[in-house]
Amino acid sequence: METTRQDASVSRDLPAAAVPDLTRRLEVLNRRARKLNVAPVVLTLTNPRLVAVTGPDGLGPGRRVEMITATVTGESPKLAGWQLVAVLDHELPETVTRRVPGLDGLDIMKYRNAGPDCDHCGVRIRRLETFVVVNDSGLLSQVGRNCLADFLGGASPAAILWLAGWFREVGDILDEMCNGSRGELAFDPIAFLAQAAACIRVDGWLSRGKAKLTGKPATADDAWFCLTMGPHASAAEVKWREARKPEAADVDRAGLALAWARELSPADPSDYLSNLGRVARGVVVKVRNTGLLASAVSSYLRTVEEEVTRRAAAATSQHFGEVGTRYKAALTLTVLGSSSIESQYGPVTLYRLTDAEGRRFKWWASDGAAQLDSGAVYTLDATVKGHGEWKGVKETTLTRVKVSVAKVSKRKVAAA
């Protein structure tokens, strides 16, 4: 059996005080790895720092806690030409996709709705998880736990399962340590979201990704801490939690966000939105899905805000000029934003613009064309290419755009 080693890693920010316990728990995993004659996982600690804490650690205002970034690296090999891509979790009513770190770019959308099937044996039985693998030619296959050894060339089943699942087991350990939980606790989604909404009301929204950059606790971790605080909490911890006690408005907002998330399509092109819908439709939420579910509140509020803006734009935006006519120095437009894509003709940039009357415009600028700054105001020469609509808002498409007067100012405008 040909085996080619490739490394994958899982990383979290933890209190430095948790490192001895983490080391002990990883050693338990590595004892198993050594018995299976596979490479053990390796713990790397980086970025030690002091972080101001106002609640979850119970240290009170002005106190600090030492944080550190823990990265666990292990083997994610190719076995007999096949490499693990993702684990499909079938515990909830809908499948949740958990990718192997480092393979986010591979398209596995067709497995989002996969049942607990196995392409190798063809037998459909109740399985809590199955595995998506890919070979060197890009062929994807879904394999059940009991068929992995036979499918991947006859290696030890226990060794293969270690290689297929260590990153998830390590991720669960790190998530538990991030949240101060050691058990498999679960909460009603509406209760968790109400607590998340209260934390957002007091502290604002902070994703786990942004939390790593700021050193502050993520919203999901604050909400979980509030729900799992034990009877021996300090007075500072209890005071901190009481300041984030859900109010009626938080419960209402949580209900609206949950209803919105449960309507998200499983076939949504966005992995984030597809998985958010699946987790939201679950009966309970466990610690591993708290970061995803907590984001439903901020995503819902952002969606509502965008819809209000869109409706306002739809009420005011009208088409400009006549198709085919060139207008010189007749358009003074504010740049709402831009996005770049690769087309068959090379890189192009889509600019979204508006004028003082609220009319909307767009311009597909080819590589080398004038570069416009978001929020800046320009006077342009342009030809009207067409009239159309985007999300119910009338807009005018421009072409052959030339800046006749350089940007004159920046002003705050509503998002498109």
pLDDT at 396 over 80: yes
Q: Name, of 39-43, 86-90, 292-296, 370-374, the range with top average pLDDT.
A: 292-296
Among 353, 350, 326, CA closest to 338 = 350
Q: Are strands 96-99 and 82-89 parallel, antiparallel or unpaired?
A: antiparallel
- Residue pair 103/111 in contact (Cβ under 8 Å)? The answer is no
> CB of 190 within 8 A of CB of 259?
no
**Residue 250 reports pLDDT greater than 50:** yes
* pLDDT above 60 (res 413): no
- Looking at the predicted structure, is the pLDDT value of residue 13 above 70? yes
CA distance 263 to 158: 39
Phi (first) and psi of residue 401, to 5 degrees: -80, 135
Domain ranges across the chain:
1-80+152-180, 84-150, 186-308, 326-405
Question: Could you tell me the pLDDT band of residue 185, with boundaries at 50, 70 and 90?
Answer: low
Name the percent of the chain in helix, strand, coil, to the closest 5. 35, 30, 35
Highest mean pLDDT among 36-40, 48-52, 146-150, 259-263: 259-263
Task: Say how many Å lie between the first and final Cα of the chain, rounded.
Answer: 55
Would the pTM count as exceeding 0.85? no
Q: Which CATH architecture has domain 326-405?
A: Beta Barrel (2.40)
φ, ψ for residue 119, nearest 5 deg = -70, -20
